[in-house]
Amino acid sequence: MNESEKQKRADARKKRKRRQMFIGRMIIVILLFIILGLCAFLGKDMLEKKKLRDIVRITKTFYGGWSDALYKKYAELFDLDAEKTPAQLSQGMRIKLNLAIALSHGAKLLILDEPTSGLDPVSREELLEIFQYLAGEGVAILFSTHITSDLDKCADAITYIRKGKLKFTGPMDLYIRQCRAQGIGTNLEEIMVHFEKEALHEEFDA
C-alpha cells in the first residue's frame, strides 16, 4: 500500500469518526428536547409534589462530577429538609435548593438573574450572606439586579448597562471613587438615582 492510499484510508476514518460524533451529538440534542418536552408537559406540577430527596436523586444522575458529600454540606448549611416538596418551600428556600444542586457538581461560576427580587428583607440579607460565604469558598457569582444595596453589601466588581449601552465595568470601589470625584454621589444608590433622573430628563427634553 502506497502513501497515497494510506492517506486516503486515514482521511476516510477521520470522516467516519466525525460523522459518528455528529450523529451522537444529534441523538443527545434530540433526547434533551424530548426530556424538556416531557418536563413542559408533566413538568412543574409533577416536580412541585416530589420530595427534595427524590428530586436530588434524579438530578444527580445528569452530573458525572456530582458529590453527595457536597450536597449534604450545603443542604445542612441552607437548612434544606429532604422530606419537603418544592410546593412547601418559600422563594428564598427554592433559591437555596438551586444553589445546593449547582454547587454539588462542582460549579465554580453561578449566573443568577435577580436572585433577591421578591424576597423579604430577612431572606434577602440571608442570601447575600450566603453569596459572601460562597465567594470565600472560591465560587464566582455573576448576578443581575436593580437593588443597589445588594451590590453595596457583596459585590467586588460591577457592570453598569443603561439603555442597552455599557457605561462601566470594573471594580465597584473604583466606580464609586470616580463618581464621588465628579460630585455625582457617595454610594452606589445615589449614583444610580442620579443617572436614572438624568435619563428621565433627557426623555422629557427630547
Indicate the pLDDT class of residue 202, thresholds 50, 70 and 90.
Answer: low
Determine the pLDDT at residue 67.
92
Task: Point out which residues pair with 110 in neighbouring strands.
Answer: 141
Kindly indicate the confidence band of residue 176, based on its pLDDT and cuts at 50, 70 and 90.
very high
The per-residue pLDDT for 140 is 92
Average pLDDT, the chain: 83
Strands 109-113 and 140-144: parallel
In this prediction, residue 46 carries a pLDDT of 67
What confidence tens digit (pLDDT) does each residue in 20-66 have?
777 777 776 676 666 555 555 545 566 778 899 988 888 888 888 89
Q: Could you give the CA distance from residue 5 to residue 73 in angstroms, rounded to a whole number?
A: 59
pLDDT in tens, 95-122: 999 899 888 988 889 999 998 888 888 8
Q: How confident is the model at residue 18 (pLDDT cuts 50, 70, 90)?
A: confident
Asked if the model's pLDDT at residue 163 lies above 70, the reply is yes
Q: What are phi and psi of 166, to 5 degrees?
A: -75, 120
Task: Give whole-number Cα distances, 175 to 115, 157, 164, in Å.
Answer: 23, 9, 19
Helix/strand/coil for 31: helix
Confidence bin at 9 (pLDDT 50/70/90): confident
The yes-or-no verdict on residue 14 having pLDDT over 90 is: no
Say yes or no to pLDDT of 160 above 70: yes
The confidence score (pLDDT) of residue 173 equals 92
pLDDT at 200: 66
pLDDT of 69 higher than 90: yes
Q: How far, in whole angstroms, is CA 142 from its chain's centroid?
A: 7
Q: Would you report the helix, strand and coil content of the chain in percent, each value rounded to 5?
A: 65, 10, 25
**Which amino acid is located at 199 in the chain?**
A
The string of pLDDT tens digits covering residues 132-148 is 999 998 999 999 998 88
pLDDT of residue 203: 60
Share of the chain above pLDDT 70, in %: 84
